[in-house]
C-alpha cells in the first residue's frame, strides 16, 4: 500500500493511457487462428471434466482434428472462461488481454522503482512497453494472449520471490509454462534480475549465488522439458518443420538470418512503421548476404560495450541496466533465434518481452538526458519535453491505428498482402472472408494466387473446390478435393465434401469409403452415424 500511495499518479497515468489506446480493439472480431482455437474448438465451449482432461493431455489443435507443437492448457482454460460468460462476443476477450498487458506495465514499473529507486526511469520504461505498437500483435489478436498472460505470471513470480514467497513464485512459474512454452525461461529472467540488481557481488560470485537461489525453478524447467520430449511430445517438439529444408537443417544459415532479423527488430523498436502480421525475411546464406554482417557487427559491439562497462565501472547502475536490458532481450529471443528451428524467422509479437529491456535502457538514458539539460540548459527543457511527448504520442497513435486495422478484417488482410503479396495463409484467409459473404468473384483469384505461390498447400485447392461445387461444376470440384487430399491425406475437410458429391452422383460405395477415411483421421459421432446409415443403405 505504501508503494501505491507514493506512486499513485504514475500508476493512474499508465493505467489510463493503457485502457485508452487499447480501447480501440474492444469490438474487433475473432478471426484467423481465433477460429480454430476458440470458435470451432468444442473443448473451450463447455465446462466439463472431459474437456479439462482433454486440454491437459492434448496439444492445442487436437480438438479440431489437427496437431501442433503447442501445449497451453491454462491459456485454453481462460478461453473457456471467456466463452462461458460471453460466448463469441469479442469485447470480454479483448478486455482481458488489455487488462493483463496493463498489469504487466505496472509490475514492470514496480520492479524498476525497486531496483533503481527512480520513478521517472520506471515510468518511461513502463510507458514504452505499454503503448508501443509492436505490442498489438500479442494483444489484439485474441489467441496472442499467451504472451501477456505468461509474462504476467513470470513478473508476479519475480515479485513474489523478492518478497520471500518462493512456493508461490514456483506456482506462478508453472502457470506461466502452462500458458506458453517460452515461460520455461523464467529461471533465467529471475537470475538476471538478481545478478543485475539484488546482489552486491562481483560477477562470478553473483552467478554462483543466483544458481543457488534459482535451482528449484531450474528443476521445474528441466522436468517440463523432459515431459515435452516424451509424454507431451505431440509433434516433434524441437522442430516445427515437418518437411526439412535448407534453413531448418543448417544452423549457420539460421544464425546468419537471425543477425539480419536483429537489425529489423532494432528498426521496428525505434521507428515502428510498416507493421504487419506474417512478416517474413529472406534467408541469409552467409555473413555477406544482405545485412547479416551488420547485425553481427552490432552484436559484437554490444558485447564489447558490456565488457568495457564492467571492466571500468564494475557492477554499477549503468552496467546493471545494460546487463538486464540486453539480457532479457536475448534470453527471450533465444528460442526464436533459429538455434531451435522455429516455425518462422521473424514475428512482431516475439518482441513482447524484449520491449521491457529496451524500455529500461531508453528510460534510463532519457532520465539522464532530462537531468543534464535541466541542469545545464534549463531553457531547452520544455522543448525536450515536447519532443518526448511527440514521440510517445506517435507510438500511441500508431498503436491506435493498428487496433483499428485489426477491427477491419478485409483491410487487415490487404495490409499484410501489401507487404507480403505471396503469403499463402493470408491469400487463403482473405479468399475465405470473401467466400463467406458470397463474393466468389474476388475469392477465386486469391485462391489461385495462393496455389501459384505454394502448390503444396491443400487449403486453396479445397476452397476452389467449394466454389466449383456451389456453381454445379462437380467434376472439377471432385478433382480439386482429391488434389487437396493427395497433398495432405490428413486434410479432413475434403473427405466429407467428396462423400456428399458421390452421394449426389448415386455412388454410395465411394461415399462410404470417403466417410470411413474421414472417421480414421477425424473421428466424430456424426460421421460414425452417417457411416452406419450409408452401410444400411448399401446392404439393402
Burial code of 476-491, b = ≥16 C-beta within 10 A, e = fewer? Answer: ebbebbebbbebbeeb
Cβ atoms < 10 Å from Cβ of 164 = 8
Residue 518 CA to residue 280 CA, distance in Å, equals: 34
pLDDT at residue 374, rounded to an integer: 92
Residue whose C-alpha cell is 443403405: 537
pLDDT, averaged in runs of 10, over the chain (540 residues): 92 98 95 90 94 94 84 96 95 97 98 97 98 96 96 98 97 98 97 94 89 96 93 74 74 92 96 94 89 94 96 93 97 88 86 97 97 93 95 97 96 96 96 95 96 95 95 93 94 91 88 88 85 81
pLDDT at residue 540, rounded to an integer: 67
Eight-class DSSP state of 36: I
Cβ atoms < 10 Å from Cβ of 172 = 23
Phi-psi region of 274 (alpha: psi -120 to 50; beta: other; left: phi over 0): left
Residue 433 CA to residue 427 CA, distance in Å, equals: 10
pLDDT digits (tens, 9 = 90+) for 333-384: 998 888 877 768 899 999 999 999 999 999 999 999 999 999 999 999 999 9
Give the predicted TM-score (pTM) of the model.
0.94
CATH level 2 (architecture), domain 421-481: Alpha Horseshoe (1.25)
Q: How far apart are the two ends of the chain, measured CA to CA in Å?
A: 78
pLDDT at residue 530, rounded to an integer: 83
Residue 494 CA to residue 105 CA, distance in Å, equals: 46
pLDDT at residue 239, rounded to an integer: 62
Residue 55 CA to residue 39 CA, distance in Å, equals: 16
Number of H helices, E strands in the chain: 26, 0
The set of residues, in sequence order, having a beta carbon less than 8 Å from that of 52 and lying 6+ positions away, is 77
pLDDT at residue 337, rounded to an integer: 87
140 closest CA partner among 350, 405, 430: 405
Residue 388 CA to residue 382 CA, distance in Å, equals: 10
Residue 430 CA to residue 432 CA, distance in Å, equals: 5
pLDDT at residue 29, rounded to an integer: 94
**Burial class (CB within 10 angstroms; exposed 0-12, middle 13-18, buried 19+) of 180:** buried
Residue whose C-alpha cell is 529461471: 187
Q: Where are the domains of the chain?
A: 421-481, 492-540
Amino acid at each position: 500500500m505504501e508503494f501505491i500511495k507514493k506512486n499513485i499518479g504514475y500508476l493512474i497515468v499508465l493505467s489510463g493511457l493503457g485502457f485508452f489506446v487499447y480501447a480501440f480493439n474492444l469490438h474487433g472480431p475473432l478471426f484467423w487462428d481465433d477460429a480454430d482455437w476458440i470458435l470451432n474448438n468444442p473443448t473451450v465451449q463447455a465446462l466439463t471434466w472431459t474437456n479439462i482432461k482433454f486440454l491437459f493431455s492434448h496439444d492445442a489443435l487436437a480438438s479440431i482434428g489437427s496437431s501442433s507443437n503447442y501445449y497451453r492448457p491454462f491459456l485454453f482454460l481462460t478461453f473457456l472462461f471467456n466463452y462461458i460468460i460471453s460466448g463469441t462476443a469479442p469485447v470480454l476477450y479483448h478486455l482481458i488481454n488489455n487488462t493483463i498487458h496493463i498489469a504487466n506495465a505496472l509490475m514492470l514499473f514496480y520492479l524498476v522503482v525497486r531496483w533503481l529507486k527512480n520513478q521517472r526511469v520506471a515510468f518511461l520504461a513502463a510507458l514504452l512497453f505499454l503503448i508501443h505498437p509492436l505490442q498489438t500483435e500479442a494483444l489484439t489478436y485474441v489467441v496472442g494472449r499467451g504472451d501477456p498472460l505468461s509474462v504476467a505470471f513470470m513478473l508476479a513470480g519475480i515479485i513474489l520471490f523478492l518478497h520471500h514467497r518462493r512456493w508461490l513464485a514456483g506456482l506462478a512459474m508453472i502457470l506461466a509454462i502452462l500458458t506458453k512454452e517460452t515461460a520455461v525461461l523464467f529461471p533465467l529472467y529471475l537470475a538476471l534480475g538478481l545478478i543485475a540488481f539484488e546482489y552486491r557481488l562481483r560477477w562470478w560470485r553473483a552467478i554462483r549465488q543466483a544458481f543457488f537461489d534459482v535451482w528449484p525453478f531450474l528443476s521445474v524447467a528441466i522436468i517440463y522439458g523432459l515431459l515435452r520430449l516424451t509424454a507431451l511430445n505431440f509433434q516433434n517438439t524441437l522442430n516445427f518443420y515437418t518437411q526439412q529444408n535448407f534453413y531448418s537443417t543448417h544452423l549457420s544459415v539460421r544464425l546468419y538470418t537471425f543477425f539480419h532479423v536483429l537489425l529489423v527488430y532494432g528498426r521496428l523498436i525505434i521507428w515502428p512503421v510498416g507493421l504487419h502480421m506474417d512478416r517474413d525475411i529472406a534467408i541469409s546464406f552467409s555473413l555477406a548476404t544482405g545485412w547479416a554482417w551488420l547485425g553481427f557487427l552490432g552484436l559484437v559491439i554490444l558485447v564489447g560495450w558490456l565488457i568495457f562497462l564492467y571492466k571500468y565501472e564494475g557492477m554499477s547502475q549503468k552496467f546493471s541496466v545494460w546487463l538486464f536490458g540486453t539480457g532479457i532481450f536475448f534470453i527471450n529471443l533465444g528460442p526464436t533465434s533459429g538455434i531451435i528451428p522455429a516455425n518462422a524467422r521473424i514475428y512482431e509479437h516475439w518482441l513482447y518481452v524484449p520491449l521491457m529491456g529496451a524500455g529500461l535502457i531508453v528510460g534510463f538514458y532519457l532520465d539522464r538526458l532530462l537531468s543534464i539539460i535541466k541542469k545545464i540548459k534549463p531553457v531547452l527543457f520544455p522543448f525536450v519535453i515536447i519532443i518526448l511527448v511527440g514521440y510517445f504520442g506517435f507510438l500511441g497513435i500508431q498503436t491506435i491505428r493498428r487496433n483499428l486495422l485489426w477491427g477491419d478484417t478485409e483491410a487487415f488482410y490487404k495490409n499484410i498482402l501489401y507487404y507480403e503479396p505471396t503469403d499463402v495463409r493470408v491469400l487463403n484467409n482473405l479468399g475465405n472472408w470473401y467466400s463467406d459473404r458470397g463474393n466468389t468473384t474476388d475469392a477465386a483469384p486469391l485462391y489461385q494466387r495462393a496455389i501459384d505461390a505454394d502448390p503444396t498447400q491443400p487449403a486453396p485447392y479445397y476452397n476452389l473446390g467449394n466454389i466449383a461445387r456451389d456453381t454445379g461444376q462437380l467434376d472439377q470440384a471432385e478433382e480439386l478435393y482429391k488434389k487437396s487430399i493427395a497433398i495432405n491425406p490428413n486434410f479432413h475437410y475434403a473427405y466429407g465434401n467428396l462423400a456428399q458429391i458421390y452421394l449426389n452422383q448415386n455412388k454410395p460405395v465411394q461415399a462410404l469409403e470417403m466417410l470411413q477415411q474421414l472417421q480414421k483421421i477425424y473421428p466424430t459421432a456424426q460421421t460414425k452415424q452417417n457411416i452406419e446409415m450409408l452401410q444400411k443403405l448399401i446392404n439393402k
